Amino acid sequence: MTTISEFLLQAGTQFWAFDLSRGIQLLPSQQFLEIESGIIAHPSPRQQHAWFAIVFNNKMLTAQHYIWFVKLPLDEIGKVQDAARSQFLQIIVEALGRDMQQGENGSADLPENPFSFVPNQQQMADFNSLCRKTLIQPPSEHFKPTQGYFANPSPDSWQTLAMQGISDFVVFSSDTELTAVLQHQLPTLPEPVISSLFSSLENRQINKAATQAVLDFAENNAGNHRLQGLAQRAISQSTANALVSNYLMQLLTASNNELSLDSLVVIAGRHWQRLHNNPALLTAFFEKLASQPQTAESFSALFADLVQIPLLRTEILGLIRQADRSEALSRAIGKLFTHEVR
């Protein structure tokens, strides 16, 4: 056995692999195999790692599902390092045995190791909801109370809501129900609810009407940088690509707009696909980044983060040869190659 996929299949399990690198999405099993075995580069790496959640069970032995949260280091071209994958596989085999014969009272827990990680509370709630839907399981017991709250919000009842319930609502509600909440209820919701709602939305596709509702909310709260960043995350999976791309271009090019570094991080982390095949937007992003305070540190970090994405690598490297870039962008790029960044 040379891959995690082979181990799980030989152990008689059914498994699902989710990519948690930039948002949460289910990976086809063949794509996961090709990524973990280094056949293809990881399509959306984060911090030079591939971040996975692997869910599996052996339904002949138990109905219980097990989860491994695994981050594997990538090489300079974005492929999983063979040595790291082999080391993790060795940890699995030593801890569980090659057959992983777990019965009702068994466990598939792994010992502490350098490849495991624990998602933050919000990501865990969102993953739980998406995993339940993928496995055709019902939402948690928090779904119904949350659904009732969004149908008729009251000033104090939000304090009884669970984060898991909000995640469930975003994942399990219909397009019509979700869009209605965004169009009619957003102005009445307290900021803690909006924070959780918008964070969960970054993992769900929303339609043009829902997207416009979020953008209207962002415009009405233009002075609140935190809510602006959350709104930008909420529309990251929007199907209204032209609407979102135009909004991002306006943010990046408005002369009177002091765009925060946090917003630029959100664009890089959640809207990176919109930078692809859009040279004007890509250039505007790096121009705005180059004009930020503490330019050297932030420019170096986000340049390194984005250039490792296979879809963007050639386009970003093309910025180096771009003749009509600004003096600020030229200076920031120059520092990448003169080692002036500390």
- 25-27/14-19 β-pairing: antiparallel
The pLDDT, as a whole number, for residue 336 is 84
User: Quick one: residue 80, left, alpha or beta (phi over 0 = left, psi -120 to 50 = alpha)?
Assistant: beta
- Strands lying side by side in the sheet with 25-27: 25-27, 14-19, 49-57, 66-73
The pLDDT, as a whole number, for residue 342 is 45
The pLDDT, as a whole number, for residue 105 is 44
Q: Which two tokens stand for residue 284?
A: 């505007």
pTM for the whole structure: 0.91
Whole-angstrom CA distances from 18 to 25, 70, 217, 239 are 5, 10, 31, 21
Residues 81 and 72 sit within 8 Å (Cβ to Cβ): yes
The pLDDT, as a whole number, for residue 340 is 46
Give the Cα-Cα-Cα angle 133, 139, 140 (nearest 5 degrees): 140
Given a cut of 50, the residues of the chain with pLDDT beneath it are 102-106, 340-342
Closest CA to 244 of 270, 283, 223: 270
The pLDDT, as a whole number, for residue 97 is 72
